[in-house]
């Protein structure tokens, strides 16, 4: 079993503090969901874990099985077993999806241990079929001209090919129609099990109808303010966030920067 | 003040060279007139680069003697790598200034296709060469360098495709430079008669690190009515040359040209790639990639000029600059009065890999007609840190992520090259240059 521990994490972007002491612990074989209104720092948490260059960790720690994640370069974090399905994946012109995936797999496997082309193609074909992606998407340039839904599927394809210990899914459900949501959920559920942990960030209870979380956390104003089981998400769906704000004495102020980068 | 032109070659040398090659008298006279003009003609004036101080005129020898090759097996390894020995049936190899190998399939020869070195062509196909040599395309008196070229032509190739002949397999020319004293005054003349079609690919390949001579290269491509030419090139000329390379196409009615140019010289380079869309319905697609490194200074002008109605011209140039290299990218779309329904589009993008590298994309649209469409996009920038982050978040190292982004940036042109060996070569050269 692996464990990802986030302790008292403070993160700033352009010197403005967004995360103000986040505590969270995930094990493999667990699915966690983080919910919360816009602009409360959910995506910031995801980006800080992966090491986005614009986010500055000002204090606190992130460890993976005791190892200091914050000291690792972005690629080292990935090789240590972290994966972030991004809300806005980059488009890379001229690099095919398939070539990119093979480079990523081989980077993890290391020199002299590269995946055979046949094995790679077989696995890619299988996973693409599973995610109902047309074969030609392997030969298209990485995310270039992909629709919102295609990009999200492509993130899940990468997840399934790279098989990380922990996946963070940053609003994987946003902009998906119901059929695409089902396919994406199917992919995540297929990963579920020993050796895989997941942190899903979402606005919507809807995603949790397809992927049942073991733990639900609510973030507000840069902190995790409530944690519980799936029933917490159901209560949010039924009653919104007002009851928590009331309990915590939060006025309806303008939330942090008002945007989640 | 003009810089004095110190020419190592006299009028007498030019005459002797011409006579030694049994050139027709029109060519001997043309050379003599051109040489006389070199002194008085102005230097070329590319936009945004002052080349007055560039040394285009000094060189140790007009020609050098080099070996020929009796068979494919004798090719140097570097040449073997870019020639598909099994599949390549139409090939010309020039070793410095010496025509070293020539092969043209019997089938094409029987259809009247001509492939031969330019000096032999001037002897054996004098009328054809005279008709097209610096007449329709590049003019001898355009400036000092075109005149110098005309006077000193010492190599190159003539490709002639008769009416209605479709050449399926590419024709390849390899210009191998392995003698540091050699100068390349190569003239390439590709003539596609009406309704014909051909793919021509040329490689300039230095296998010495340092050049002491000049590279003054002109290629003229004449595309007659409804003919179709694909012109690919990979230039890898050594440091030390002052390279002037002028590739020009003249398109008649419904003619089409596709350029795919990999401009990978290590020398200071002044490059012009100009297409004249003279005929109605003519079409030019111009794609170039450039990698500059070291202390190199380069200027690339890509121009498509429209006279023909409903003519289409597309320019795409992607450049990567590293170290202290400088690159100016002039993209010019010019629509003349009367070229109604013409479409001129261009895109120039420059990626800079180091602090001291300089790139300048200079898009120009000159339009003298109302009923047209035109557009341009230009950008100069560095590798996007968010793209790097994305690739690295999948476990790819920073160096490898940069490599992927750069190759991706240059791929639109690499993929256009019609010979696999040449595609591979260009990929490897890019690899070596950006590392």
Between chain A and chain B, the number of residue pairs with CB atoms below 8 A apart is: 82
Complex ipTM more than 0.85, yes or no? yes
- For residue A160, give how far its alpha carbon lies from the nearest alpha carbon of chain B (Å): 12
pLDDT above 70 as % of chain B: 98
> Is A66 in contact with A58 (CB distance < 8 Å)?
no
The per-residue pLDDT for range B68-102, each reduced to its tens digit, is 999 989 999 999 999 987 778 899 999 999 999 99
User: CA angle, B304 as apex, B303 and B309 as ends, to 5°?
Assistant: 160
The reply to whether residue A107 touches residue B395, judged by beta carbons under 8 angstroms, is yes
Residue B312: φ, ψ to 5°: -120, 130
Is A104 in contact with B409 (Cβ distance < 8 A)?
no
Proportion of chain B above pLDDT 90, given as a percent:
91
- Span B320-328, average pLDDT: 96
Task: Please give the residue that has the higher pLDDT: either B258 or B84.
Answer: B258
Quote the tokens at residue B359.
């790139």
Mean pLDDT along residues B427-432: 92
Q: How confident is the model at residue B413 (pLDDT cuts 50, 70, 90)?
A: confident
Distance of CA B48 to the CA centre of its chain: 20
Q: Is the pLDDT of residue B104 over 90?
A: yes
Domain boundaries along the sequence of chain B? 11-279, 385-435
Q: For position A252, what pLDDT does the model report?
A: 63
Does residue B426 carry a pLDDT above 60? yes
Q: Nearest CA of chain B to the CA of A75: how many Å?
A: 4
Q: How far apart are CA A96 and CA A81, in angstroms?
A: 24
| Segment-wise mean pLDDT, segments of 10 residues, chain A, 261 residues | 97 96 97 93 97 96 98 98 96 95 95 95 97 95 95 97 97 91 96 96 91 96 95 91 89 51 41
The pair phi, psi for residue B158, each rounded to 5°, is -120, 125
Average pLDDT (B307-321) is: 97
pLDDT tier at B149, thresholds 50, 70, 90: very high
| B246/B228 Cα distance (integer angstroms) | 20
The answer to whether B69 touches B61, Cβ cutoff 8 Å, is no
Enumerate the residues of chain B whose CB falls inside 8 A of the CB of residue A100. Answer: 391, 394, 404
Give the pLDDT score at B419.
85
Q: Is the pLDDT of residue B1 over 60?
A: no
Contacts of A249 (CB under 8 A, 6+ apart): none
B385, B395, B411: residue with CB nearest A79: B395
Per-residue confidence (pLDDT) for residue B417, from 0 to 100: 83
Check residue A19 and give its pLDDT: 97
CATH architecture for segment(s) A3-248: 3-Layer(aba) Sandwich (3.40)
Cite the beta strand spans of B237-342 per DSSP E.
Answer: 242-251, 256-263, 268-277, 283-292, 297-306, 312-321, 326-335
> Hey, how many other C-beta atoms are within 10 angstroms of the C-beta on B300?
26
Using alpha carbons only, what angle is made at residue A179 by residues A173 and A181, rounded to the nearest 5 degrees? Answer: 20
- Nearest CB neighbour to A90, from listed B386, B396, B410: B386
Q: Which residues of B touch A162 (CB under 8 A)?
A: 394-395
CA B353 – CA B323 distance, rounded (Å): 7
Q: Please tell me the distance from the alpha carbon of residue A180 to that of residue A170, in angstroms, as a whole number.
A: 16
Q: Does the pLDDT at position B263 exceed 60?
A: yes
From B408's Cα to the closest Cα of chain A, the distance in A is 4
Task: Tell whether the model's pLDDT for residue B53 goes beyond 60.
Answer: yes
**pLDDT for residue A126:** 97
Task: Using pLDDT thresholds of 50, 70 and 90, give the confidence band for residue B434.
Answer: confident
- Distances in Å between the Cα of B342 and the Cα atoms of B162, B229, B369 are 29, 20, 9
- The B-side interface with A (CB below 8 A) comprises 384-387, 389-398, 400-401, 404-405, 407-412
User: Cβ neighbours of residue A172 under 8 Å, at least 6 residues apart?
Assistant: A85, A152, A155, A156, A184, A188, A200, A202, A207
The distance of B353 to chain A (nearest Cα, Å) reads 17
Q: How high is the pLDDT of residue A249? A: 87
Q: Which residues of B touch A86 (CB under 8 A)?
A: 390, 393
d(CA A33, CA A211): 10
Domain range summary for chain A, segments of one domain joined by +: 3-248
Region B218-228 average pLDDT = 98
Which among A45, A47, A62 is positioned nearest to A224, based on CA atoms?
A45
Number of Cα atoms under 13 Å in the Cβ half of residue B297: 9
- The mean-pLDDT minimum among A55-64, A161-170, B118-127, B404-413 falls in B404-413
Nearest CA to CA, how far is A158 from chain B (Å)? 8
Which H or E element spans position B160? strand B155-161
Please give the Cα distance from A185 to A173 (Å, whole number): 9
- Give the span between the Cα atoms of A100 and A114, in whole angstroms: 14
What average pLDDT does range B47-70 have in this prediction?
94
Give contacts of B387 with chain A, Cβ < 8 Å. 90, 92
- Mean of all residue pLDDT scores within chain B: 95
Do A53 and B409 count as a contact with CB atoms less than 8 A apart?
no
Of A74, A82, A168, which to mutate for an interface test with B (greatest number of B Cβ within 10 Å)? A74
3-state secondary structure of B312: strand
d(CA B93, CA B75): 9
pLDDT digits (tens, 9 = 90+) for B349-400: 999 999 999 999 999 999 999 999 999 999 999 999 999 999 999 999 999 9
CB B86 within 8 A of CB B103: no
Choose the closest CB to B408 out of A94, A104, A158: A94
Q: Hey, what are B94's tokens? A: 């020039």
Residues of chain B with Cβ-Cβ distance to A78 below 8 Å are 392-396
User: Residue B2 above 50 pLDDT?
Assistant: no
How would you label A22-33 residue by residue, b for 16+ Cβ within 10 Å and e otherwise?
bebebebebbbb
How many C-beta atoms surround the C-beta of residue B157 within 10 A? 27
Band of pLDDT at residue B5, cut at 50, 70 and 90: low
The model's pTM is 0.88
Q: Which of A136, A152, A140 is nearest to A96 (CA)?
A: A140
The three-class DSSP label of residue A97 is helix
Per DSSP, A96 falls in state B
């Amino acid at each position: 079993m692996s464990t990802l521990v986030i302790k008292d994490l403070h993160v700033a972007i352009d010197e403005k503090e967004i995360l103000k002491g986040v505590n969270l612990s995930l094990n493999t074989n667990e699915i966690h969901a983080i919910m919360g209104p816009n602009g409360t720092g959910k995506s910031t948490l995801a980006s800080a874990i992966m090491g986005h260059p614009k986010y500055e960790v000002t204090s606190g720690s992130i460890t993976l099985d005791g190892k200091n994640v914050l000291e690792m370069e972005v690629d080292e974090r990935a090789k240590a077993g972290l994966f972030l399905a991004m809300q806005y994946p980059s488009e890379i012109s001229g690099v095919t999806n398939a070539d990119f995936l093979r480079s990523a797999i081989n980077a993890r496997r290391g020199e002299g241990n590269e995946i055979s082309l046949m094995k790679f193609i077989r696995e890619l074909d299988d996973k693409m079929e599973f995610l109902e992606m047309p074969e030609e998407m392997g030969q298209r340039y990485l995310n270039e001209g992909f629709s919102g839904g295609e990009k999200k599927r492509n993130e899940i394809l990468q997840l399934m090919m790279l098989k990380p210990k922990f996946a963070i899914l940053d609003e994987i459900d946003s902009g998906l129609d119901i059929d695409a949501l089902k396919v994406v959920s199917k992919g995540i559920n297929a990963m579920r099990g020993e050796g895989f942990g997941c942190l899903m960030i979402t606005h919507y209870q809807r995603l949790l109808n397809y992927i049942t979380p073991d733990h639900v956390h609510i973030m507000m104003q840069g902190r995790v303010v409530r944690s519980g089981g799936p029933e917490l998400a159901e209560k949010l769906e039924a009653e919104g966030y007002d009851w928590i704000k009331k309990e915590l004495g939060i006025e309806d102020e303008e939330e942090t920067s008002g945007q989640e980068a | 003040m003009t810089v004095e032109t110190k020419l190592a070659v006299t009028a007498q040398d030019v005459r002797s060279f011409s006579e030694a090659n049994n050139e027709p008298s029109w060519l001997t006279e043309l050379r003599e007139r051109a040489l006389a003009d070199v002194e008085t003609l102005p230097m070329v004036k590319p936009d945004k680069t002052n080349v007055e101080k560039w040394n285009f005129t000094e060189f140790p020898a007009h020609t050098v003697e080099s070996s020929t090759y009796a068979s494919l097996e004798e090719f140097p390894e570097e040449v073997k790598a870019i020639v598909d020995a099994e599949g390549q049936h139409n090939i010309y190899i020039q070793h410095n200034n010496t025509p070293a190998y020539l092969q043209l399939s019997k089938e094409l020869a029987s259809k009247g296709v001509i492939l031969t070195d330019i000096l032999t062509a001037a002897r054996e196909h004098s009328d054809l060469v005279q008709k097209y040599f610096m007449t329709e395309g590049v003019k001898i008196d355009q400036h000092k360098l075109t005149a110098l070229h005309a006077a000193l032509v010492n190599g190159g190739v003539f490709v002639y495709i008769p009416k209605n002949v479709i050449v399926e397999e590419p024709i390849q020319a390899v210009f191998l430079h392995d003698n540091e004293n050699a100068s390349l005054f190569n003239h390439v003349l590709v003539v596609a008669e009406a309704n014909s079609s051909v793919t021509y690919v040329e490689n300039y390949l230095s296998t010495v690190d340092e050049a002491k001579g000049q590279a003054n290269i002109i290629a003229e491509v004449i595309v007659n009515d409804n003919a179709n030419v694909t012109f690919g090139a990979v230039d890898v000329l050594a440091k030390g040359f002052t390279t002037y390379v002028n590739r020009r196409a003249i398109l008649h009615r419904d003619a089409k040209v596709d350029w795919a140019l990999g401009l990978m010289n290590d020398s200071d380079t002044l490059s012009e790639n100009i297409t004249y869309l003279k005929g109605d319905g003519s079409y030019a697609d111009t794609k170039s990639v450039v990698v500059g490194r070291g202390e190199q200074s380069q200027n690339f002008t890509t121009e498509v000029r429209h006279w023909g109605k409903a003519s289409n011209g597309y320019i795409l140039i992607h450049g990567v600059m590293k170290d202290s290299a400088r690159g100016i990218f002039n993209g010019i779309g010019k629509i003349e009065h009367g070229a109604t329904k013409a479409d001129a589009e261009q895109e120039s993008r420059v990626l800079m890999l180091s602090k001291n590298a300089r790139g300048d994309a200079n898009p120009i649209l000159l339009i003298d007609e109302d009923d047209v469409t035109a557009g341009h996009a230009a950008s100069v920038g560095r590798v996007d840190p968010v793209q790097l982050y994305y690739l690295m978040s999948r476990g790819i190292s920073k160096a490898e992520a940069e490599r992927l982004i750069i190759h991706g940036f240059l791929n639109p042109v690499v993929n256009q090259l019609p010979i696999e060996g040449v595609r591979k070569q260009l990929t490897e050269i890019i690899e070596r240059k950006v590392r």
